[in-house]
Amino acid sequence: MILTPIFIWTGCTKDKPAPGRYRATFIYEMPTELAKYTDGIEISDPSENSISINGSILSKNGKKIEGEIISLPGVGSYIHIDGEWSKKFLQSEYKISGAFTQRYSQHGGEFQSSGHFEIISD
């Protein structure tokens, strides 16, 4: 008698990152190279079309996530991200990575920084 293994597929085809606490690294490339880290990221209300990061609603289309995060502790304010989420097979860690731009005012002028980021579930 030949036994065929039966695999139960549960949770491996999720179409959104899980809600919860995340940590992040933002690597600034313009105007100067600088890294900022934070563990103060809360992802909530993931749906087919949107996701909330620290209370800011970003658009989600499949694996693509885009929008502006109003505030991230330790990183700053008004951070526009353009990235994708991923999850490795049989692992519980979710990751969102991509590019970002950040607008800010300083000494009466408007400035913008940019770089790449990685947000990882705890």
DSSP letter string over 63-119? TEEEEEEEEETTTEEEEEEEEEEEE-TT---EEEEEEEEEEEEETTEEEEEEEEEEE
What pLDDT band is residue 17 in, cutting at 50, 70 and 90?
confident
Domain locations along the chain: 20-121
What pLDDT band is residue 2 in, cutting at 50, 70 and 90?
low
What is the pTM assigned to this prediction? 0.81
Reference 96, options 65, 60, 51; nearest CA is 65
12 pLDDT higher than 50: no
* CA–CA dist 21, 120 (Å, integer): 9
